[in-house]
A and B are shown apart, each in its own frame.
Chain A
Amino acid sequence: MITIALPKGRLGDKVYNLFAKIGYDCSEIYDDNRKLVFENTENGVRYLLVKPSDVAVYVYHGAADLGIAGKDILDESGLSLYELLDLKLGRCDMCVASHNDYKEDLSRPIRVATKFPNIAKKHYMSFNREIEIIKLNGSIEIAPLVGLSDVIVDIVETGTTLKENNLKVIERFLPISARLIANRASYTFKKDEIDRLCDNLQTVLEEK
C-alpha cells in the first residue's frame, strides 16, 4: 500500500488524473462528500487530501509516502525530502515585485513583504543585501501600495493581479512547478514500487 498526499483543489485534481492513468485510480474520490482519506486496496493506494502547504509536512513525518507539492512550499519548508519528479504543472515564478515607479534606495535595508520569508532571505543573502522581512499571509500586493514594504516576494503566474494594482515584476528568480516528493524512509523500503510509479508518470507526462 502506498499513501499519497494530494493538495486539495485544482492541482490535486489534475495530479489525481495522472495517477489514475497509471493504475492508481480510486473512483471513490469523485463522490460528493467531505471525506479526506480515500483508499483502493485492490490498486494498493490511499490518498490523503490535505492543504497544499501541508503536503510536505505529511510526507516528511511519514504519514504519507509520496506527495505533490509546489517548489515554493518545498523550498520554504526546508524539509529533508526526495524530490523525484517535476510534474510541470502549476507553473509560475517566484518574483520580486514593487510599485511601478519604485527605485531601490541602496543606503538602507530593503523592507520585503512576503509569505515566503526563508526563500526571500536566501535570495537576498545570495548577493549580500540586507533586508527586513515583513511576514504576511495573503494579499501581499497591498504592502508596497500602502508603504508597508518596499517590495514583495511572491509567486506570479500571469501578472494580472500585479498590473491591476500598479505593480511590476523586478526580478524572476525561482521557477516554480509541482513536484513529486517522497519520504526518505519510505523510499528505501518501497523503492521498487516508487521507481516504477515515477517511470510510469514520466511516460504519461511525455505523452502529454
Chain B
Amino acid sequence: MQNFINSLPLEDRLPLELSRLYEQFGYQKYCMSKFEEYGFYSDNRDFLSTDGIIAFNNSAGRLMALKPDITLSIVKNARTLPGAEARYYYNENVYRITDDTHDCKEIKQCGVELLGDIDSHSTAEIVLLALNSLAKIDNEFNLIISHIGFVSAALADAGIMGERRKKILGFIKRKNRHDLLNWCRLSGIEDSIVERLLKISSINGRLDEVLPALNELVTDEKTLAAYNELYDLCKAIKDNDYFKNLVFDLSVLNHLDYYNGILLQGYVKNSPSPVLSGGRYDSLAKKIRGKGGALGFALYLDGLNLYYPNKNEFDCDVLIIANQSDANLFKILADFENTGKKVMIAHKNELNIKAKQIMYYDNGNLTKE
C-alpha cells in the first residue's frame, strides 16, 4: 500500500500524508458542503483573501456562493465545548475568480484550524504542524514567521492610519527600504519612527537569533506580549529538527484585515510562490463566535505537480500483451494484483507503454519477453 501511495503524484499523495499527520496530532476531519449562502461571505468580506466570489441562485431563488474560503465556514459551524479547544483539519476545494484573468478557478487546499483559548502551547503546535506539513513536500523548505504586533505598534505610536498606513505597509512588504525612507521624509514622519520602521523591514533570520533585535522594538504592553509570544515559541520548539527551517521576517504582512498576531508563510524549494499561508485570526473568531481565539494555516496544493513532477518513468510494472482474453488471463491478473504490482493488458503495445517487464499471453500460456 505504501508503495502505491509513494507512486502517486504529489497533489494526490499529499492530502493522504497530511491527513495522517493531522490525525496524529488529534485533529478531526471537517467536511463541508460546496455551497454556502452568499450573504455569509458578503457580510465577512473583510476576512476573505479574495474578492472573486462565484455566486448563483438556487432553485428556491436564494443567492448562494461556491465556497471561496474554508476557514470562515469552520469558524461559523464548528461546535466547541466551553473552555475546550477545537481542532479541525480539512481537505477541500475552494472556488474563486482569479484576479488576473477573471476566470473561475477550483483550488485544492488542505489545512488546520485551532479554535478556542490560544496559548503558547497551541501556537507551538500549529507552527510544528506547519513545519511538518512543508517537510512532506520537500526537505528544502522555509517557514517564514512574522508578527503584526511590532509594525502595528510603530504605526500607532506615530498616529499613522488609513492610506498612509497602507503605503508604509506596502514598502515593508516589498522590502523597499529606499522608497520607505524617501516617502517618510517627504511626509514629515519623525526620524525615530522612520528608524524603527527601517529596522522592522530589515529584521530577518532564525527566530532565536532575531529575538534581541525584537526586544529592542518593545515599547508598550502590546509589543511586550508579541515579544513574549515569540520568546515562548522559540523556547518550545528550538530542539525540533525543523527549527532551522523557521525564519523570522517582519516583511510578511499578508491579509492584515484578517490576521492579528503571528503570521505564517511557507515556501518549498521548487515553487516560486508560497505554498502555505496562515496565522492568528482572533478578530474573525470573535466576530462570528463572540469569543475565543483562532489559529490555523492552509496549504495550496494546486501546481505542486508542476514543480514536483512524478518521476515514475514506467507506466506499469508488468505489461501483458494478450492475443485473447479469457478466464485464465483474469486469474493471472488477480495473482499479480495480490503481489501489489501494477499490471496493464494490451493487444499490441501501440501506445508505447513503458513497463518494467513485458509478458505475452497466448493460448493460455504466459511467457516472458
Chain A residues packing against B (C-beta within 8 Å): 60-62, 80-86, 126, 182-189, 191
Docked Cα-Cα span, A61 to B307, in Å, equals 11
Beta-carbon contact of B174 and A82 below 8 Å: yes
Using Cβ atoms and an 8 Å threshold, which residues of chain B touch A85?
178
Using Cβ atoms and an 8 Å threshold, which residues of chain B touch A81?
174
Docked Cα-Cα span, A80 to B273, in Å, equals 9
Using Cβ atoms and an 8 Å threshold, which residues of chain A touch B175?
82-84, 182, 187
Beta-carbon contact of A188 and B142 below 8 Å: yes
Smallest CB–CB gap between A68 and chain B, Å? Answer: 14
Using Cβ atoms and an 8 Å threshold, which residues of chain B touch A183?
272
Docked Cα-Cα span, A88 to B340, in Å, equals 63
B residues 261-297 touching A (CB-CB < 8 Å): 267, 269, 271-274
Using Cβ atoms and an 8 Å threshold, which residues of chain A touch B204?
191
Beta-carbon contact of A189 and B174 below 8 Å: no
Docked Cα-Cα span, A136 to B179, in Å, equals 29
Instruction: Please name 13 pairs of A and B residues whose Cβ atoms are closer than 8 Å in the assembled complex, sorted by A.
Output: A82-B175, A82-B176, A82-B251, A83-B175, A84-B175, A85-B178, A126-B163, A182-B175, A184-B267, A184-B274, A188-B142, A188-B247, A191-B204
Known A83-B176, A86-B178; contact A60-B272, beta-carbon cutoff 8 A: yes
Beta-carbon contact of A185 and B273 below 8 Å: yes
B358, CB-defined interface residue at 8 Å? no
B175, B249, B274 pick with most chain A CB within 10 angstroms: B175
Docked Cα-Cα span, A168 to B273, in Å, equals 42
Beta-carbon contact of B269 and A189 below 8 Å: yes
Smallest CB–CB gap between B242 and chain A, Å? Answer: 15
Least CB separation from A64: chain B residue = B272
Least CB separation from B163: chain A residue = A126
B51, CB-defined interface residue at 8 Å? no
Smallest CB–CB gap between A200 and chain B, Å? Answer: 16
Docked Cα-Cα span, A60 to B249, in Å, equals 19
Docked Cα-Cα span, A61 to B174, in Å, equals 16
Docked Cα-Cα span, A183 to B247, in Å, equals 16
Docked Cα-Cα span, A204 to B176, in Å, equals 19
Chain B residues packing against A (C-beta within 8 Å): 140, 142, 144, 163, 173-176, 178-179, 204, 247, 249, 251, 267, 269, 271-274
Using Cβ atoms and an 8 Å threshold, which residues of chain A touch B247?
188, 191
Docked Cα-Cα span, A11 to B295, in Å, equals 47
Beta-carbon contact of A83 and B174 below 8 Å: yes
Using Cβ atoms and an 8 Å threshold, which residues of chain B touch A191?
204, 247
Beta-carbon contact of B272 and A61 below 8 Å: yes
Least CB separation from A60: chain B residue = B272
Using Cβ atoms and an 8 Å threshold, which residues of chain B touch A186?
272
Q: Which of B144, B173, B178, B179 contacts A188 (CB 8 A)?
A: B144
Known A62-B272, A183-B272, A184-B273; contact A189-B178, beta-carbon cutoff 8 A: no
Docked Cα-Cα span, A183 to B178, in Å, equals 18
Smallest CB–CB gap between A156 and chain B, Å? Answer: 19
Least CB separation from B249: chain A residue = A188
Smallest CB–CB gap between B76 and chain A, Å? Answer: 29
Using Cβ atoms and an 8 Å threshold, which residues of chain A touch B274?
184-185
Smallest CB–CB gap between B169 and chain A, Å? Answer: 13
Smallest CB–CB gap between A208 and chain B, Å? Answer: 16
Smallest CB–CB gap between B202 and chain A, Å? Answer: 10
Using Cβ atoms and an 8 Å threshold, which residues of chain B touch A61?
272
Using Cβ atoms and an 8 Å threshold, which residues of chain A touch B144?
188
Q: Which of A62, A82, A182 contacts B271 (CB 8 A)?
A: A62
Using Cβ atoms and an 8 Å threshold, which residues of chain A touch B267?
184-185, 188-189
Known A81-B174, A83-B175, A86-B178; contact A189-B140, beta-carbon cutoff 8 A: yes
Known A184-B267, A185-B271, A185-B274; contact A86-B179, beta-carbon cutoff 8 A: yes
Least CB separation from B99: chain A residue = A78
Smallest CB–CB gap between A13 and chain B, Å? Answer: 23
Given contact pairs A182-B175, A184-B274, A187-B175, enumerate 13 new A-B contacts (beta carbons under 8 Å). Answer: A60-B272, A62-B272, A62-B273, A80-B173, A82-B174, A84-B176, A185-B273, A185-B274, A188-B142, A188-B267, A189-B142, A189-B267, A191-B204
Least CB separation from B247: chain A residue = A188
Using Cβ atoms and an 8 Å threshold, which residues of chain A touch B176?
82-84
Docked Cα-Cα span, A86 to B179, in Å, equals 8
Docked Cα-Cα span, A62 to B303, in Å, equals 14
Docked Cα-Cα span, A170 to B179, in Å, equals 23
Docked Cα-Cα span, A13 to B180, in Å, equals 28
Least CB separation from B271: chain A residue = A185
Smallest CB–CB gap between B270 and chain A, Å? Answer: 8
Docked Cα-Cα span, A81 to B175, in Å, equals 9
Using Cβ atoms and an 8 Å threshold, which residues of chain A touch B271?
62, 185
Using Cβ atoms and an 8 Å threshold, which residues of chain B touch A83?
174-176, 179
Docked Cα-Cα span, A186 to B247, in Å, equals 14
Least CB separation from B268: chain A residue = A185
Using Cβ atoms and an 8 Å threshold, which residues of chain A touch B269?
189
